[in-house]
């Protein structure tokens, strides 16, 4: 079980979420020896321990109160919760915050030659999947009968070897489907990574640690989506320049030494800064336009 005073966070040991989870924790200021092969690693500068496990084990570890927090894909979370509900096992958790990585969709895909004419044309077919509960829920909600067989990986191979008619698996670029002669016919679930917490293990001390950690996580996410923009603008075009800036932040306007006609404009853009905007700024007479990443943000 968890300790009273150290926050235990479960993260994926290796795979699609592990790099970004590690980056996130690092950017939050957690000092962790990543070369350390220990599966329960101590953070040296905060009362936090990191447990490195298979992502499919993370929801259960949090639901059972073995870990206080977990970073996991919504797909895995939802699948585990449905499965546990069915088995009458503990399935409650709190979704602390959504995270801005691990975006993918759970889709039904069929061989390219299959004639898809709507959901009803899938009635009675068999799908290979790692996510039987999400597939069953979709079938129920759509009013069709679907059969399934369980595969933990390389799901896309199933139709070609006669194991199933189609697949229900995660898609992000669609490259794996294409490489295996499959086409996406229905998106059944959209997923991202989330930070979840146990409903039963939070002591005051651990809540205090989370109260420090959570704003940092939010700050890192905000910084990742934001850019710091610097440029030189003609003084008489300031209003037009401000209008072109993405986001709602007020720009900082600074004088430029020895130039009466130009000013420096700095702004934090919380929305995507497109090449087209840069071209429009250039057309207004702006110069030295720099778009820079932001490492941390608060307030
Ligand atoms: N192609 C993808 N693009 C983006 N995110 C993905 C993709 N595939 C999976 N994910 C997300 O990353 C999570 C982990 O996927 P990954 O393939 O690394 O592990 P796994 O094989 O599903 O699980 P385990 O860690 O239990 O072995 C998935 O549950 C999903 O949320
Ligand atoms: O649409 P794409 O960008 O091609 O990504 C989709 C693939 O990524 C995931 O598998 P992964 O590569 O993680 O392998 P795994 O089956 O070993 O988990 C998923 O299960 C798909 O097979
Ligand atoms: Mg995978």
Range of the domain at 118: 104-191
Which atom of ligand 1 is closest in space to residue 193's alpha carbon?
Answer: 31
34 and 95 in one domain? Answer: yes
Q: Reply yes or no on whether the pLDDT at 52 is more than 70.
A: yes
Answer whether residue 164 is part of any domain.
yes
140 and 90 in one domain? Answer: no
Question: pLDDT tens digits for 221-255?
Answer: 999 889 999 999 999 999 999 988 877 678 999 99
Distance from the alpha carbon of residue 16 to the mean position of ligand 1, in angstroms: 5
- Could you give the percent of the chain with pLDDT greater than 90? 87
**Is any atom of ligand 1 closer than 6 Å to the C-beta of 245?**
no
96 and 11 in one domain? Answer: yes
Determine which residue's CA is closest to atom 3 belonging to ligand 1. 172
Answer whether residue 2 is part of any domain.
no
Q: How many CA atoms lie within 13 A of 40 on its CB side?
A: 7
180 and 132 in one domain? Answer: yes
Which atom of ligand 1 is closest in space to residue 171's alpha carbon?
Answer: 1
Q: Which ligand sits closest to the CA of 175?
A: 2
Distance from the alpha carbon of residue 52 to the mean position of ligand 3, in angstroms: 16
**Is any atom of ligand 1 closer than 6 Å to the C-beta of 22?**
no
CB atoms within 10 A of CB 100: 15
Closest CA to 124 of 104, 102, 148: 148
What gap in Å lies between CA 9 and CA 43, rounded to an integer? 11
**Is any atom of ligand 1 closer than 6 Å to the C-beta of 191?**
yes
Mutation test residue for ligand 2: of 153, 154, 175, the one with most atoms within 8 Å of CB: 153
Q: Choose one of 170, 191, 212: the last residue of a domain.
A: 191
Q: What is the CATH number of the domain that holds 112?
A: 3.40.190.10
200 and 96 in one domain? Answer: yes
Q: Choose one of 205, 224, 243: the last residue of a domain.
A: 224
Q: What is the pLDDT of residue 248?
A: 67
- Does ipTM top 0.90? yes
253 and 122 in one domain? Answer: no
Q: Reply yes or no on whether the pLDDT at 160 is more than 90.
A: yes
* Ramachandran class of 145: left when φ > 0, alpha when ψ lies in -120 to 50, beta otherwise: beta
Determine which residue's CA is closest to atom 15 belonging to ligand 1. 16
Distance from the alpha carbon of residue 24 to the mean position of ligand 1, in angstroms: 17
Q: Reply yes or no on whether the pLDDT at 205 is more than 80.
A: yes
97 and 13 in one domain? Answer: yes
35 and 170 in one domain? Answer: no
Q: Residue range 106-133: average pLDDT?
A: 98
Closest CA to 193 of 168, 220, 212: 220
Q: What is the pLDDT of residue 250?
A: 86
187 and 110 in one domain? Answer: yes
22 and 81 in one domain? Answer: yes
Q: Residue range 58-70: average pLDDT?
A: 98
What total of structural domains would you count in the chain? 3
Answer whether residue 276 is part of any domain.
yes
Q: What is the CATH number of the domain that holds 232?
A: 3.30.70.120
126 and 20 in one domain? Answer: no
Determine which residue's CA is closest to atom 11 belonging to ligand 1. 102
199 and 89 in one domain? Answer: yes
Answer whether residue 247 is part of any domain.
yes
Tokens read off for 77: 């979370």
Answer whether residue 165 is part of any domain.
yes
Answer whether residue 254 is part of any domain.
yes
Distance from the alpha carbon of residue 55 to the mean position of ligand 1, in angstroms: 8
Q: Choose one of 201, 224, 247: the last residue of a domain.
A: 224
Answer whether residue 134 is part of any domain.
yes
Confidence of residue 35 (pLDDT cuts 50, 70, 90): low
Beta pairing partners, 182? 111
Which atom of ligand 2 is closest in space to residue 153's alpha carbon?
Answer: 16
What gap in Å lies between CA 97 and CA 216, rounded to an integer? 12
């Amino acid at each position: 079980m968890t300790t009273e005073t150290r926050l235990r966070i479960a993260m994926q040991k290796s795979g699609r979420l592990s790099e970004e989870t590690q980056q996130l924790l690092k950017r939050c200021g957690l000092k962790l020896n990543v070369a350390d092969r220990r599966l329960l690693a101590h953070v040296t500068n905060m009362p936090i321990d990191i447990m490195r496990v298979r992502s499919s084990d993370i929801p259960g570890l949090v639901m059972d109160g073995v870990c206080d927090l977990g970073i996991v894909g919504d797909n895995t979370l939802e699948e585990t919760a449905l499965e546990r509900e069915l088995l009458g096992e503990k399935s409650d958790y709190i979704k602390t915050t959504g995270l801005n990585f691990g975006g993918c969709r759970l889709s039904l895909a069929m061989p390219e030659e299959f004639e898809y004419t709507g959901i009803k044309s899938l009635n009675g077919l068999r799908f290979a999947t790692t996510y039987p509960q999400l597939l069953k829920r979709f079938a129920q909600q759509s009013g069709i009968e679907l059969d399934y067989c369980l595969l933990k990986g390389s799901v896309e191979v199933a139709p070609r070897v006669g194991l199933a008619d189609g697949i229900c698996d995660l898609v992000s670029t669609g490259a794996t489907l294409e490489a295996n002669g499959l086409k996406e016919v229905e998106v059944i679930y959209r997923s991202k990574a989330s930070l979840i917490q146990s409903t039963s293990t939070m002591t005051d001390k651990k809540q205090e640690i989370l109260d420090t950690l959570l704003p940092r996580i939010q700050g890192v996410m905000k910084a990742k989506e934001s850019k710091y923009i610097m440029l030189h603008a003609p003084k008489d075009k300031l209003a037009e320049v401000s209008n072109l800036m993405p986001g709602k932040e007020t720009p900082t306007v600074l004088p430029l030494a020895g130039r009466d006609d130009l000013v420096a404009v700095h702004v934090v853009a919380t929305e995507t800064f497109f090449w087209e905007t840069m071209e429009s700024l250039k057309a207004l007479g702006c110069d030295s336009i720099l778009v820079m990443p932001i490492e941390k943000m608060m307030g």
